[in-house]
């Protein structure tokens, strides 16, 4: 997931606004206690997400894929006091960890966690809600379905942000279901004239798409 080498990666971190103490705690706890800690977005992508929230004056965010809460809290820190973030997560163990950290942050009150398979949550619990920014970062096989299910939930002019669109380079020769899910999603987005989009090589690849 590190396309530019350790030295330049560290240089990026060293020249980015440093994360809050609680974000650092989440990263340290996740590294020491959780499987697949590399799923956590980390300091540069976290600050990138927070910056996107701030420059778009976003008030309402939908996140799909909470894990231990790093990206959700980074984005919540960029929201105004009355901003709101809904996040979907399958695993109760991840929710338990994230909730403990959110309770310690003044921005935690902006975050509502929805437990269960995100596709079910989207249709059953979040029906009718509309967001300024949607961040996709859950199971990659379902990226095409998330794209379809979230379209009506993103306001016109809103921003879709999608993580792992390069999938460590596997998009060039897809083999697994996850590889194929991302490739299919990338094609769907590229061919959808309802969006204007750009694919960036930040970390594992991030696509930004504005809904026209
Ligand atoms: C890459 S991690 C999210 C990382 C997080 N955004 C961060 O920056 O720390 C993906 C998360 O999606 C969750 N997930 C996987 N399949 C899911 C599903 N069908 N519905 C909801 N969450 C799911 C996983 O349990 C995992 O916590």
Q: What is the DSSP string of 7-49?
A: HHHHHHHHTSPPPPHHHHHHHHHHHHH-S-GGGS-HHHHHHHH
Residue 94 has pLDDT above 70, yes or no: yes
The mean pLDDT of 71-85, rounded to a whole number, is 98
Torsions phi, psi for 155 (to 5 deg) = -70, 155
The mean pLDDT of 77-95, rounded to a whole number, is 98
Residue among 22, 67, 124 whose CB has most ligand 1 atoms within 8 A, to mutate: 67
Residue 3 has pLDDT above 90, yes or no: no
Q: Rounded CA gap, 98 and 26, in Å? A: 8
Strands 131-136 and 111-115: unpaired
Q: What's residue 119's pLDDT?
A: 98
Q: What's residue 2's pLDDT?
A: 75
The mean pLDDT of 133-156, rounded to a whole number, is 98
Residue 19 has pLDDT above 70, yes or no: yes
Name the average pLDDT for the chain. Answer: 97
Please tell me the distance between residue 115's alpha carbon and the centre of ligand 1 in angstroms. 11
Q: What's residue 54's pLDDT?
A: 98
* 118 Cα nearest atom in ligand 1: 20
Residues near ligand 1 with C-beta < 6 Å? 39-41, 65-68, 70-71, 88-91, 94, 117-118, 137-139
Q: Which two tokens stand for residue 163?
A: 């993580």
Residue of the nearest CA to atom 19 in ligand 1? Answer: 117
How many CB atoms neighbour CB 132 within 10 A? 19
**Residues 159-197 pLDDT 10s:** 999 999 999 999 999 999 999 999 999 999 999 999 999
* 42 Cα nearest atom in ligand 1: 8
How many CB atoms neighbour CB 189 within 10 A? 20
Provide the edge-to-edge strand list for the sheet that holds 154-163: 111-115, 84-89, 60-64, 131-136, 154-163, 206-211, 195-200
* 94 Cα nearest atom in ligand 1: 27
Type and span of the H or E element at 64: strand 60-64
Residue 117 has pLDDT above 70, yes or no: yes
Please tell me the distance between residue 65's alpha carbon and the centre of ligand 1 in angstroms. 3
- Read off the pLDDT band of 20 (50, 70, 90): very high
Structural domains of the chain, ranges and CATH numbers in brackets: 6-211 (3.40.50.150)
Q: What's residue 78's pLDDT?
A: 98
Cβ atoms of 90 and 66 closer than 8 Å: no
Contacts of 159 (CB under 8 A, 6+ apart): 52, 56, 58, 132, 133, 134, 208, 209, 210, 211
Residue 1 has pLDDT above 70, yes or no: no
Q: Which two tokens stand for residue 75?
A: 């984005």
Residue 86 has pLDDT above 70, yes or no: yes
Stated pTM of the model: 0.98
Residue among 40, 66, 93 whose CB has most ligand 1 atoms within 8 A, to mutate: 66
């Amino acid at each position: 997931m590190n396309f530019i080498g350790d030295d330049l990666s560290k240089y990026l971190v060293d020249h980015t606004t440093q994360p809050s103490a609680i974000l650092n705690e989440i990263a340290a706890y996740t590294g020491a206690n959780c499987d697949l800690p590399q799923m956590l977005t980390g300091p540069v992508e976290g600050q990138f997400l927070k910056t996107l929230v701030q420059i778009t004056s976003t008030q309402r965010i939908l996140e799909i894929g909470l894990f231990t809460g790093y990206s959700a809290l980074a984005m919540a820190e960029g929201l105004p006091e009355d901003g709101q973030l809904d996040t979907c997560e399958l695993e109760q163990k991840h929710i338990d960890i994230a909730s403990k950290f959110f309770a310690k942050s003044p921005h935690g009150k902006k975050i509502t966690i929805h437990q269960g398979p995100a596709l079910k949550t989207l249709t059953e619990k979040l029906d009718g809600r509309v967001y300024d920014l949607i961040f996709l970062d859950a199971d990659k096989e379902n990226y095409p379905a998330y794209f379809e299910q979230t379209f009506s939930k993103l306001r016109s002019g809103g921003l879709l942000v999608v993580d792992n669109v390069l999938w460590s380079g596997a998009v060039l020769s897809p083999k697994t279901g996850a590889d194929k899910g991302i490739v299919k999603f990338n094609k769907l987005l590229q061919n959808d004239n309802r969006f204007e989009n750009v694919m960036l090589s930040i970390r594992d690849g991030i696509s930004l798409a504005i809904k026209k």
